[in-house]
Amino acid sequence: MNTKLHLLDQDPKPKRMKLQENADNEKFRNVISYLRYIAYSGPEDGLAKLKAGATKGDVAPFKAQNVPPLSAENEEKAMETLKLLCEQNLAKFPDPVERDVELLKAGGLTYNERNCILFRMSEKRVNLRTREE
C-alpha cells in the first residue's frame, strides 16, 4: 500500500493550489508543505513521524500542511517541482506579460476585457516571480 496516499485519505486526485505573491501567506506555505511531502523519499517510518509533526497531534485527516524543511535534498526537489509547475502554468499563456501591458496602454477595452487582462497579467507575474526565486 502506498503510505503517502494512505495518509492523504487515499486521494490520488491532483491538488489545485493557488500561488500567492506573499511567501509568508498561509496558502503559499501549504503549497510548499505539500511539495515537501510529495518529494519525501526517506524511509516509510519517517512518514509517520512527518504526519505526527505536521498535524501537531490532531486527529483530523492528514493534509500535508505545516511540513517543515526535511533536508537540503528534499527542499531542492520541492523547489524544482514548484519551478516546473510555474513553467507549466506560464506555458498556458500564449503571450508574455509585455503584451498584456501593451493591450492595457492601447486602451479601447471594455471593463471586463480590462479586468481579464489585469487578472491574466497578475497570474503570469506571480508564476514568473515564484519560478525565479
CA dist., res. 51 & res. 53, Å (int)? 5
| pLDDT score, position 128 | 92
| Same domain, residue pair 65 and 102 | no
| Same domain, residue pair 45 and 33 | yes
CA dist., res. 106 & res. 133, Å (int)? 32
| Same domain, residue pair 39 and 50 | yes
| pLDDT score, position 111 | 95
Among residues 77, 90, 67, the alpha carbon closest in space to that of 19 is found at 90
Q: What's the rounded mean pLDDT across residues 30-52?
A: 77
| Same domain, residue pair 81 and 23 | yes
Cα torsion 126, 131, 69, 44: sign: positive
Q: Are 12 and 5 in contact (CB under 8 A)?
A: yes
What confidence tier does 14 reach under pLDDT thresholds 50, 70, 90? low
Selected residue with higher pLDDT from 90 and 62: 90
CA dist., res. 57 & res. 53, Å (int)? 7
| Same domain, residue pair 69 and 127 | no
| pLDDT score, position 1 | 38
Domain extent at residue 54: 1-92
- Domain tally for the chain? 2
| Same domain, residue pair 74 and 120 | no
Among residues 55, 41, 40, the alpha carbon closest in space to that of 9 is found at 55
Does the structure show a pLDDT above 90 at 63? no
